[in-house]
């Protein structure tokens, strides 16, 4: 997988912020660090910065994202790894998700989530090899909600924001990713048959990307398709092989990538990066999993793969290839897997299996 480069590998020190945050994030981010350290001379000298964020931090201090964390990332780091956050499903006064805030603070406008089969499915299901490119800054995630009391009861409203600017740049990211893949196909996910103004703007803006003067025929070899989001979910489970690069507004992309994870066995396998034009932050797709926190059975592979994606975005391709190959070998062999994949191994045992192959 190719990304737009944020850096060249010529640096002497690679400075990485580590934000475990909540739940099993505190177990899988140290695992990702160990994988990075095992790469040795394939990387510059590594410098890690341990940083705070999360709901647990909020309950103790009243702050979910300390200003110090943001400043260190902006001024002292080349990239970062984020674990997981335990944002509650109910409203908590004064709290907002630190990962959403970090995406905005660092202008990480693209959430890139590759989902790929490693071994053939024993039931003969088609192989999966796709990328969900999720716009990361807008849609309903702007979190502009109101709750009012009316004569007939409470009334809740949420603002959904879609702009031409954000849609254009996420479209460019999707086309760049597709250009580097064998199939070279972008599928635009929308619901413009109902939301003709907001989703209509997203659809029209992304479709127009290849005609932009600044790309000047660059994407002529990339095919364009589109799919209504509910139909896209159905077809994702029925015929995932039809998809290559799927580009979607924030909410749809979030749902689609989690659904796609079911096709390859577990959320514990699916990595992502939050990417902008000047920074990248790896983040496993899974949540904080409080039911298994502290039991030593969390799957570390998504976090390790997210570290590899981060490296790939920074143009350390050889190092990223080594990590991906090691992880894929562990999965294919099937002897050392956590419980979500039908195994009995601990987090540490899986990490050690990956490190042996590095």
Phi, psi dihedrals of residue 115, rounded to the nearest 5°? -130, 120
Distances (CA, A) of 250 to 105, 132, 147, 256, 324: 17, 11, 23, 10, 27
Q: Residue written as tokens 């309950």?
A: 59
Query: Which ranges in 62-97 belong to alpha helices (H)?
Result: 67-76
| Dihedral sign from CA coordinates of 305, 306, 308, 312 | positive
Domains of the chain in start order, with CATH, are: 1-108+276-358 (3.40.718.10), 110-269 (3.40.718.10)
Q: Residue written as tokens 């990387």?
A: 43
pLDDT in tens, the chain (358 residues): 545 556 566 789 999 999 999 999 999 999 999 999 999 999 999 999 999 999 999 999 999 999 999 999 999 999 999 999 998 888 899 999 999 999 999 999 999 999 998 865 555 566 889 999 999 999 998 888 899 999 999 999 999 999 999 999 999 999 999 999 999 999 999 999 999 999 999 999 999 999 999 999 999 999 999 999 999 999 999 999 999 999 999 999 999 988 888 888 888 899 999 999 999 999 999 999 999 999 999 999 999 999 999 999 999 999 999 999 999 999 999 999 999 999 999 999 999 999 999 9
Question: What count of residues does the chain have?
Answer: 358
pLDDT of residue 199: 96
Any residues with CB less than 8 A from the CB of 319 and at least 6 apart, and which?
Answer: 39, 42, 43, 308, 311
Give the residue numbers marked as catalytic.
Answer: 141, 191, 230, 254, 258
d(CA 140, CA 336): 40
Rounded to two decimals, the pTM is: 0.90
């Amino acid at each position: 997988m190719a990304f737009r480069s944020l850096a060249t590998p010529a640096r002497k020190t690679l400075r990485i912020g580590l934000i475990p945050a909540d739940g099993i994030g505190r177990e899988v981010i140290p695992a990702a660090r160990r994988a990075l350290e095992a790469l040795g001379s394939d990387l510059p000298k590594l410098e890690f910065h341990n940083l705070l964020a999360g709901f647990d931090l909020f309950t103790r201090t009243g702050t979910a994202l300390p200003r110090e964390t943001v400043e260190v990332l902006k001024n002292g780091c080349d990239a970062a790894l984020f674990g997981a956050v335990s944002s509650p499903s109910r409203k908590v006064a004064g709290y907002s998700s630190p990962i959403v805030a970090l995406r905005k603070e660092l202008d990480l406008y693209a959430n890139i989530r590759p989902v790929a089969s490693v071994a053939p499915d024993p039931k003969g299901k088609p192989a999966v090899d796709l990328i969900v490119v999720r716009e990361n800054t807008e849609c309903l995630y702007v979190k502009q909600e109101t709750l009012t009391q009316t004569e007939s009861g409470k009334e809740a409203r949420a603002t959904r924001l879609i702009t031409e600017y954000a849609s254009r740049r996420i479209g460019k990211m999707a086309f760049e990713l597709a250009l580097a893949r064998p199939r070279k196909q972008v599928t635009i996910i929308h619901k413009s048959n109902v939301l003709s103004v907001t989703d209509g703007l997203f659809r029209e803006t992304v479709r127009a990307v290849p005609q932009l003067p600044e790309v000047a025929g660059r994407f002529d070899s990339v095919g364009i398709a589109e799919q209504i989001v509910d139909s896209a979910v159905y077809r994702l489970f029925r015929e995932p092989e039809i998809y290559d690069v799927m580009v979607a507004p924030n909410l749809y992309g979030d749902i689609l990538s989690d659904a796609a994870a079911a096709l390859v066995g577990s959320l514990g396998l699916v990595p992502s990066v939050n990417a902008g034009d000047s920074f990248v932050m790896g983040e496993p797709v899974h949540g904080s999993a409080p039911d298994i926190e502290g039991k030593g059975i969390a799957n570390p592979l998504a976090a390790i793969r997210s570290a590899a994606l981060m490296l790939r975005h920074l143009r350390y391709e050889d190092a990223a290839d080594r990590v991906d190959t090691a992880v894929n070998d562990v999965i294919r062999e099937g002897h050392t897997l956590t419980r979500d994949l039908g195994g009995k191994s601990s987090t540490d045992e899986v990490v050690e299996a990956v490190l042996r192959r590095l």
